[in-house]
């Protein structure tokens, strides 16, 4: 489980421009990918595509299929859900190609886990993309697309979002940085050497410890800035204007009673906005639900040692200018349910590889939490004061 406490705040290495936070190369963090590394017996890393708070993404060459792929390598402390969401979206009951919007979504080509110096990592493979619409605009002095290109991009986005909604999902984090241009059909014909000639080879900047100490295990010897395969926005042609939606990890997360929108800030902290679902919570009790939860979390933090998220803010329906009802803004904590940890998906029974010590450790924590809650005394019977 990753919390904000997991994000290192101490600067240990000389910062590198365009490179992820190097302090997060540690147990539970990033895997130290190097140019030339091989994954899963078939994918060779040839360049870097980008990074996020919980992953780095690399351009790889599939040496079996002789084509380029994107390798998204997640941090060891995460339980990524994006691949599951994408798989659900592209496993619709509609015949392939029956929806134009489906063509704007990535497909999961492969998924695997591997063990590295910083822990167990999930990696999933998709087709690569060029640059985001945001970086294309950043590369332009006028920050505009040609009119026919802009119309095409907007139409494709409408089709893609309509398809996502038809499958019962909401992206929830649509912005120009999450809308990518597809690579041209001839991209796979480039050899790695030709790729470097056209777009430039990886720039390997050495990682230097500020204390002049040797780099610890799990920290790469060099950082790599992402490859630039874009162009100024006004130079994008209509033939090149083919989009791909990305970053389904940060969209709306469906719970039993809430819709949740995650926000990731520049300093890599992460909050979540929770809104009661209209179909699950009566509007008459929505305010009460939020108030009671906020007060309960505050009470538990103040009077027990039980770890709970920090509530940043909450408000009544009347306080929400968007008319979306009451809200709760709190720390985002990534994790998984005990059902997913303990239970086999197929049989519904306990997983055979579970360790008795692990089960005992979890049960002891649960018992401790229950005892602490039972020891909270109130002056009188009734609801939590607010």
Q: What is the pLDDT at residue 9? A: 47
pLDDT of residue 345: 61
The whole-number pLDDT of residue 111 equals: 92
Residue 68 to residue 46: CA distance in whole angstroms: 9
Q: Which residues contact 30 (CB under 8 A, 6 or more apart)?
A: 20, 24, 56, 73, 75, 118
How far apart, in Å, are the Cα atoms of 216 and each of 15, 25, 213, 220, 221?
16, 9, 9, 9, 10
pLDDT at 194: 97
- Identify the CA nearest to 187 among candidates 258, 246, 128: 128
Q: What is the pLDDT of residue 235?
A: 96
Domains of the chain: 4-128+184-230 (3.30.200.20), 253-374 (3.30.200.20)
Handedness of CA 148, 150, 156, 162 (dihedral sign): negative
The confidence score (pLDDT) of residue 240 equals: 95
Provide the whole-model pTM: 0.65
Residue at token pair 């410890």: 209
> Residue 228 has what pLDDT?
94
pLDDT at residue 250, rounded to an integer: 52
Q: What 3-state class would DSSP assign to 350?
A: strand
Q: What is the CA radius of gyration of the chain?
A: 23
Q: What is the mean pLDDT of each run of 10 residues along the chain (386 residues)?
A: 42 90 92 97 96 92 97 87 77 57 90 94 94 92 94 92 77 82 95 96 94 91 95 95 83 59 77 72 73 88 90 84 79 75 69 80 89 83 61
Distances (CA, A) of 99 to 92, 105, 184, 360: 10, 11, 22, 49
| φ, ψ dihedrals at 249, nearest 5° | -65, -35
Residue 163, pLDDT score: 84
CA distance 74 to 77: 8
Q: Which residue has the tokens 């999961």?
A: 108
Q: What are phi and psi of 200, to 5 degrees?
A: 100, 145
pLDDT at 304: 92
Residue 72 counted as an annotated binding residue: yes
Taking the CA of residue 153 as centre, how many other CA atoms within 13 Å lie in the half-sphere pointing to its CB? 25
Q: CB neighbours (10 Å) of residue 313?
A: 12
How far is it, in rounded angstroms, from Cα 376 to Cα 361?
A: 24
Closest Cα partner for 47 from 219, 245, 240, 193?
Answer: 193
pLDDT of residue 93: 47
Q: Which helix (H) or strand (E) holds 67?
A: strand 67-74
In angstroms, the CA 263 to CA 34 distance is 30
């Amino acid at each position: 489980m990753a919390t904000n406490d997991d994000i290192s705040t101490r600067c240990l290495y000389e910062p590198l421009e365009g490179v992820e936070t190097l302090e997060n190369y540690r147990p539970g963090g990033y895997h130290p990918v190097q140019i030339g590394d091989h994954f899963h017996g078939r994918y060779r890393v040839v360049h870097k595509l980008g990074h996020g708070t919980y992953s780095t993404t690399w351009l790889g060459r599939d040496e079996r299929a002789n084509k380029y792929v994107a390798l998204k390598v997640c941090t060891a402390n995460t339980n990524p859900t994006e691949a599951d969401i994408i798989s659900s979206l592209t496993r619709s009951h509609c015949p392939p190609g029956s929806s134009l919007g489906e063509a704007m979504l990535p497909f999961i080509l492969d998924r695997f886990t591997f063990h590295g110096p910083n822990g167990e990592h999930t990696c999933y493979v998709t087709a690569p993309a060029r640059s985001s619409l945001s970086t294309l605009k950043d590369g332009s002095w006028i920050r505009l697309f040609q009119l026919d290109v802009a119309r095409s991009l907007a139409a494709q986005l409408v089709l893609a979002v309509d398809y996502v909604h038809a499958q019962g999902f909401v992206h929830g984090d649509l912005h120009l940085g999450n809308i990518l241009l597809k690579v041209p059909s001839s991209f796979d014909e480039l050899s790695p050497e030709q790729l470097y000639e056209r777009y430039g080879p990886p720039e390997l900047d050495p990682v230097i410890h500020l204390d002049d100490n040797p780099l610890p295990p799990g920290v790469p010897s060099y950082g790599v800035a992402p490859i630039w395969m874009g162009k100024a926005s006004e130079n994008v042609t209509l033939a090149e204007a083919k989009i791909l939606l990305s970053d389904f990890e940060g969209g709306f997360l469906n719970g039993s009673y809430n819709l949740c929108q995650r926000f990731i800030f520049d300093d890599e902290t992460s909050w979540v906005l929770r809104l009661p679902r209209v179909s699950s919570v009566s509007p008459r009790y929505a305010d009460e639900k939020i108030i009671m939860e906020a007060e309960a979390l505050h009470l538990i933090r103040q009077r027990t040692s039980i770890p709970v998220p920090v509530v940043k803010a909450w408000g009544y329906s009347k306080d929400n200018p968007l008319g979306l009802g009451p809200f709760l803004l709190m720390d985002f904590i990534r994790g998984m349910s005990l059902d997913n940890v303990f239970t086999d998906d197929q049989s519904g029974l306990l997983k055979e590889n579970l360790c008795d010590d692990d089960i005992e450790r979890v049960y002891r924590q649960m018992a401790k939490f229950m005892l602490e809650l039972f020891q909270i005394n109130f002056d009188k019977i009734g609801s939590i004061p607010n």
